[in-house]
Structure 1
Amino acid sequence: MVSKPLKIAVLGFWHVHAKDYARQTQQHPGTELVAVWDDDLALGQAGADEFGVPFTDDLEALLGRADVDGVIITTATSAHREVMVRAANAGKHIFTEKLLAPTVTEAAEIIAAADDNGVKLVVSLPRLAHGYTHAIRDVIGSGDLGQLTYGRIRLSHDGAVSRGGADGWLPQRFFDQKTAIGGALTDLGCHPVYLLQLFLGADPETVNATYRSVAGRGLEDNAVVTVGYRDQKIGVIEAGFASRNPFTIEIFGTDGSLTYTETGNVLRVSGPAFGGDDLQLPVPDHGKGPFAQWVDHINQDTRADDNLARALELTRMVVAANQAAEQGRTTSYAGSESHLPTR
């Protein structure tokens, strides 16, 4: 017997991915988009009109609806804690855009509220499910690279860069410190952060960050974060809104190396275990993405343990990087108590 689709509302069209998640809701056979809320009337009404569902500016009334099973939260980052805790207390399952919250304390409060109310919470960390991620984990897990020494992950787009005298395509609200919390590192840089944590570990000893603003729109659009580990590994996280470059991953060890580029979806390894240099490995298809995982967790009454642990550690790293950039010095990392699996 096929169960009825879960009825989902979108809370906020602040984030550029709100439309993507609304579209996924309409395309997934197990979900139905039924409403939109936003405290920005123009953004919310436009989103509701585009997807053909009613708009409301009354969040309390929407969360009180018995026919709403879950919510997609794509508000300003600064509003995450308030909106998510209210949604959790109303018993609504939550799918949310990263970053989970501006601080580790707020992130932990959100997770606790979800747990206390039996709410299934999933944070969108999509690249954890990508095929190259699984392939790279397999290579690292085999030990064929030897002791890991260095990792670098770069992700950037040109959303801040002007074209024809106009600002880039990324909305100016992404450069508002009060609502966005941070720039390129806090938004796009989340993906390299959680991937580096997966590959090298979530418990570095030190964090250093350099932020620059190429377009001068208010927050950094060009960021590099360097983390140092007790076993002497170095990790480098690069994120930008000011250049369009292929997404790249580099992992080096004492016995070999690995490189991945999204251009051609090419994964290459070298070293004695691979018979020499430049061996291309197959990249599997992507696994089930975070939205579909969220639906499964709701239907199967399971908790997204790994996702929530990684979302919390992602928050911890972004906070540490932003503090290091603001202070202009290498800082000690406060995440050594992490119990995340690494490899």
Structure 2
Amino acid sequence: MGTPLKVAVLGFWHVHARDYARQAQEHPGTELVAVWDDEVELGRAGAEQFGVPFTEDLDGLLQRDDLDGVIVTTATDVHRDIMVKAANAGKHIFTEKVLAPTVAEATEIIEAADANGVKLVVSLPRLAHGYTQAIREVIASGVLGQLTYGRVRLSHDGAIPRNGNEGWLPQRFFDPKAAIGGALTDLGCHPIYLLQLFLGADPETVSAIYRSVAGRGLEDNAVVTVGYADQKLGVIEAGFASPNPFTIEIFGTDGSLSYTDEGNVLRVKGNQLPVPEHSPDPFAQWVSHITDGTRADDNLARAVELTRLVVAANEAATKGDSIAYDGKVIS
């Protein structure tokens, strides 16, 4: 591998910013060289932790000739402004989900990246996990028959007070403006893009129920249901209020499968199947797209459809009713 790509972290707003900064330091193809954050205290702390300079001058940072790419982990509401600016400066972009608060903004970001030859990848990590590939192969084999129902649940207890503290998830995750939404918009992204992968991204209807167990300002307990033209149903569950195992269930006319990360166990029609190793994660994929000069077509299409369903779910929850869904099919 040649000279490592020089990368900066833009924002330590998101809890995964440190994970991505660590990846940038550990990946042989990248070097972390700077941190910017409009919240100076957060940015300085992150820069100090990783031993790189902090800057308050975003425009100056993006004009650096020796900077190749940026990791965007700012508040969700400024994703569009930050990423379009970075793309126009010719900097490759790796970003936390969701890509943007609206489909229009997500599309604008992708168009800016394409126009400037920028390689853009959204972190959708569970698409690369071994159980995902195994489940796709089971579905494709037809052993389950016609699919009728799918359910994906992901939850942690980050909103729940422990030992006198308000919960390990920062309060900024419950700011309606910055976060756009609560558990569904953040953690729920993973069940959404997985369900779209397994059942399709073209439901007819969406309904949603949100609740707040901890009462911190946004939902920490969410269930979204989607209905398809072929009569199958999908259920998306996400929460910040209970430390449940990650689970996937897919039912068909001829059988069912289940997966749990408790023991990494996949069962199909009662029989346990081996779970493959993970494929390269989204950060590694980003580096490969930059070095190979390729576009992350599937990742970007799924990122847009993820945004579309998040927006629809939030609308349905606000209305308290099922709504028609104008999704776009992903092959």
TM-score, length basis structure 2: 1.00
2:162 equivalent in structure 1: 163
Q: What is the alpha-carbon distance in structure 2 between the residues aligned to residue 289 and residue 212 of structure 1?
A: 32
Please report how far the alpha carbon of residue 43 of structure 1 lies from its aligned counterpart in structure 2 after TM superposition.
Answer: 0.1
1:290 equivalent in structure 2: 282
Q: What is the alpha-carbon distance in structure 2 between the residues aligned to residue 339 and residue 178 of structure 1?
A: 30
Q: Kindly indicate whether residue 184 of structure 2 is the aligned counterpart of residue 192 of structure 1.
A: no
Match of 2:302, SS state, is helix
2:273 equivalent in structure 1: 281
Q: What is the alpha-carbon distance in structure 2 between the residues aligned to residue 155 and residue 37 of structure 1?
A: 31
Q: What is the alpha-carbon distance in structure 1 between the residues aligned to residue 255 and residue 114 of structure 2?
A: 43
1:213 equivalent in structure 2: 212
Provide, for residues 226-258 of structure 1, a one-character-per-residue CA deviation record: whole Å limited to 9, x for no partner.
Answer: 000000000000000000000000000000100
Match of 1:33, SS state, is strand
1:169-248 mapped onto 2 (5 Å cutoff): 169-248=168-247
Amino acid at match of 2:179: A
Q: What is the alpha-carbon distance in structure 2 between the residues aligned to residue 284 and residue 104 of structure 1?
A: 33
Q: Kindly indicate whether residue 308 of structure 2 is the aligned counterpart of residue 316 of structure 1.
A: yes
Q: Kindly indicate whether residue 326 of structure 2 is the aligned counterpart of residue 339 of structure 1.
A: no
Q: Kindly indicate whether residue 302 of structure 2 is the aligned counterpart of residue 302 of structure 1.
A: no
Q: What is the alpha-carbon distance in structure 1 between the residues aligned to residue 73 and residue 273 of structure 2?
A: 37
TM-score, length basis structure 1: 0.96
Q: What is the alpha-carbon distance in structure 2 between the residues aligned to residue 172 and residue 102 of structure 1?
A: 19
Q: Kindly indicate whether residue 92 of structure 2 is the aligned counterpart of residue 93 of structure 1.
A: yes
Please report how far the alpha carbon of residue 166 of structure 1 lies from its aligned counterpart in structure 2 after TM superposition.
Answer: 1.6
1:274 equivalent in structure 2: none
1:266 equivalent in structure 2: 265
Amino acid at match of 2:90: G
Please report how far the alpha carbon of residue 165 of structure 1 lies from its aligned counterpart in structure 2 after TM superposition.
Answer: 2.4
Q: What is the RMSD of the two structures over their aligned residues, measured on CA atoms?
A: 0.4
Q: Kindly indicate whether residue 30 of structure 2 is the aligned counterpart of residue 40 of structure 1.
A: no
Match of 2:149, SS state, is strand
Please report how far the alpha carbon of residue 3 of structure 1 lies from its aligned counterpart in structure 2 after TM superposition.
Answer: 1.0
Amino acid at match of 1:142: S
Match of 1:297, SS state, is helix
Match of 1:94, SS state, is strand
Please report how far the alpha carbon of residue 339 of structure 1 lies from its aligned counterpart in structure 2 after TM superposition.
Answer: 3.5
Provide, for residues 40-90 of structure 1, a one-character-per-residue CA deviation record: whole Å limited to 9, x for no partner.
Answer: 000000000000000001000000000000000000000100000000000
1:275 equivalent in structure 2: none
Q: How many residues align?
A: 331
1:134-145 mapped onto 2 (5 Å cutoff): 134-145=133-144
Q: What is the alpha-carbon distance in structure 2 between the residues aligned to residue 166 and residue 50 of structure 1?
A: 23
Provide, for residues 289-323 of structure 1, a one-character-per-residue CA deviation record: whole Å limited to 9, x for no partner.
Answer: 00000000000000000000000000000000000
Q: What is the alpha-carbon distance in structure 2 between the residues aligned to residue 310 and residue 269 of structure 1?
A: 26
Match of 1:238, SS state, is strand
Match of 2:118, SS state, is coil
1:326 equivalent in structure 2: 318
Match of 1:154, SS state, is strand
Match of 2:15, SS state, is coil
Amino acid at match of 1:170: L
**Percent of aligned pairs with the same amino acid:** 77
Amino acid at match of 1:160: A
Runs of 4+ in 1 over 2 A off after TM superposition: none
Contact conserved, 2:125 with 2:281, CA < 8 A, in 1?
Answer: yes
Provide, for residues 214-237 of structure 1, a one-character-per-residue CA deviation record: whole Å limited to 9, x for no partner.
Answer: 000000000000000000000000
1:66-145 mapped onto 2 (5 Å cutoff): 66-145=65-144
